[in-house]
Amino acid sequence: MTIEAGQPLAGQPTSARQAGPKRPLGGLGRAALGRAGRAALLATGRTPVPDALEPLVQAHRRHHPQADLGLLGRAYRLAEASHRGQKRKSGEPYITHPLAVTMILAQLGAGTTTLVASLLHDTVEDTELTLDQVGAGFGPEVAYLVDGVTKLEKVDFGAAAEAETFRKMLVATGDDVRVMVIKLADRLHNMRTIRHMKPASRVRIAKVTRDVLIPLAERLGIQVLKAELEDIVFATLHPEEYARTRALLAGREDHPDALLAPFALALGRQLAEAGVAAEVTVRPRHCVSLHRVLLKRDAAAGPDGRPQGPQPADFGRVLVVVEENADCYAVLGELHTCWTPLPGEFKDFVAAPKFNLYQSLHTAVALEGGEVVEVLVRTRRMHEIAETGVVALGDPRQPGTEPGADELDRTDPARPGWLSRLLEWQQETPDPDAFWSALTADLAGDREITVVTEAGETLQLRAGASCVDAAYLLGEETGHRCIGARVNGRLTALSTVLQDGDRVAILTEQGDPAARPSGPAPEWLAHARTPAARLAIERWLADHPPRVPVVRTGPSAGQPAPPAHRAAERGEAPVTVVGRPGAPVRLARCCTPVPPDEVSGFAIRGGAVAVHRTGCPAGERMRADGRGTPEVRWRPGAAPPSGYRATLRAEALNRPRLLADLTAAISGEGVGIVSAEVEPPQELRVRHTYTVELPEPGALPAVLRAMLRVSGVYDVGRPFAPAGGGARTPAAAAGAATRPAPGPAPEPVSGAVSAPVSGPVSAPVSAQGNGDDPSAPGVRPSWGIHGRSAAFTGH
């Protein structure tokens, strides 16, 4: 839809003057009728307006019949006097520009205050009129709008003038969205006359319009402005492609519509029979919209393997406008009953509006010949908002004044959510170049997604955003303390890209909220898609340079001493072989049995007996090979000469200082670390394996609990070594490197462990949530403590 100066928007009734007879009744000439009309206005006390404002007044009265025309007249006279003698590059008087911009806004339905500010929007910038004079004559509200769209001087800001002007404009828009509405109308008229600019200026202006102003028009929901700006930018930057697409549209206009129009008639008849009052029309695509469809056609091969050409349904969509919200779903039912709906093409933006206020039902149906037709269903109010966005919501300074407001209209005209987020991060980028780069990057996303926290809070994010972005959207402190996320009930990496409709929970490290969090890792920058997240991470990394981790081997000052464990009698065989007293025994290193594990004995060379935990893959292989299985039992109070060794595995979300904290937790229990292995992180999850020397078997549960209390650790257990007991087999190594994402995470824990472990734990525990496949050889844990030490923020 194109807004033409002096003409109403399509679909709106024309005025009586336009629809009336060419020759007035009574034989009066046009001049005499004009004098009579002005005399009648004076007789009724209504302030006359200049002749140049007549088309503007007609457009304005269609939306605001009780508008203050005297205020418009005063604003026009002041603007005309201020710009008198100035010319545009086209040679026209400069006053034609504010008049044209104001006409665009009047056709959109903007209020009188907005139109007054539009008439005066260039006076402070290009004439001797001051902002104080504007405020004195028209009030502080008009002065604020004029100041918001006034450019900053290059003399003062140099090359940064454009970036700083947009920053100033965005800040003003945060308080009153009409500032950006006036700027968009101003840019639309400038783009209409861009042919009078130099070629280099045309390209520069078109690129700024494409990168900044068109996305802003999209976010404000002003579709009629966005569509025309897109077409002009397309024609300016890609004239050849524009000419080809425009020729296709022109050729289509010369031939009757044999597909969409008959379908619209059939749908209208069907809805009438069903008792649904609706207006069914064909909505043609504009040039850029058609070009995008053609690009998709070229990328998709047809049945013959060749790129598909344009189809009749590509040139438009069917629009159904109804009266009530419930009628939208009634129309949808008739559509899907009488025609075949395409799976995956239905989108409900009525129940869940888009970030830019847009509400409609979208679907696509297949006709008998195989053609696919797209259908949009919306109410009249939804259609008005879809076309003119925030302008249709009225004066943001007087919310709730519009009668008949729909309860499904979940909009905030004064401060859209995306604008609030943009204003937050722009304050942290004083450098104009950094601000401009961040602004264009933030606006580059052509759509946004909606995710819901487990606490019910709705988050609006740009498409492609990750869990890192969601964490920082909940607050910078939440982002810094984030150590993991749960998406749709499954523990996942922070790098996970969120999809529209996901349910997300952000897990943060526990501890004193006043204490300094461990903070983000540099790798997070690769997963952050929003400027707010990137700037917060960069600021943290700059303020907290990396430090060399210090591994503590014992309790530090202020920490309690490790618990005193009962010393076992070392040197005595820990296991006795039934029927063979004095037989030498060896505790297997592949499974590191510790009392009271269930164990099995296997005869080896030299008459010795190897003791394995029951279920150890190496022991089971020996059993299958026919090795003897003498009965073995633990000897109470005995221990090997070097003490019991146990292998412990911790599954955690990777973060700085994790190794230092885990080793400190182990040593804090008075347990020595013999060896440690840290596998490379897989999607921000990491696996630590430790071999420890226990002072006595009863120390093992306390060590497991201490490891689980470390922030980021969500699973601790005792693994079996790969089958064979020696080096990893290729199958086992591959299983560890490609372990699946953890399953549904357990309920949030209170403290570090949901239930204390009293005494040695001997019963096997499920491996759910630890990232291992219990059926894979060599990775099934025996017993351990499974949980999560991350605090749940409730987001």
* Residues with active-site annotation: 125-126
- Answer whether 112's CB lies under 8 Å from 60's CB: yes
What burial class does residue 741 get, using C-beta atoms within 10 Å of its C-beta: 0-12 exposed, 13-18 middle, 19+ buried? middle
Q: How far is CA 466 from CA 348, 655, 711, in A?
A: 24, 17, 21
Task: Give CB contacts under 8 A, 24+ apart, made by 421-429.
Answer: 421/460, 421/473, 421/530, 421/532, 422/170, 422/531, 423/170, 423/171, 423/174, 424/532, 425/530, 425/531, 425/532, 425/535, 426/167, 426/170, 426/171, 428/535, 428/536, 428/539, 429/531, 429/535
Torsions phi, psi for 241 (to 5 deg): -65, -35
Nearest to 339 by CA among 372, 312, 366, 370: 366
9: CB partners within 8 A, 6+ apart: 1, 3, 107, 108, 224, 387
- Answer whether 590's CB lies under 8 Å from 612's CB: yes
CA atoms 693, 695, 701, 703: torsion sign: negative
Tokens representing residue 29 in the block: 């000439």
How many angstroms separate the CA atoms of 36 and 672, rounded? 105
Alpha helices by DSSP H, listed for 209-324, are 214-219, 223-237, 239-253, 260-273, 287-299
**What one-character-per-residue DSSP string does 550-603 give?**
---SS--TTSPPPPPPPPPEETS-SEEETT-TT--EEE-TTT---TTS-EEEEE
If DSSP codes are grouped into helix, strand and coil, which group holds residue 485? Answer: strand
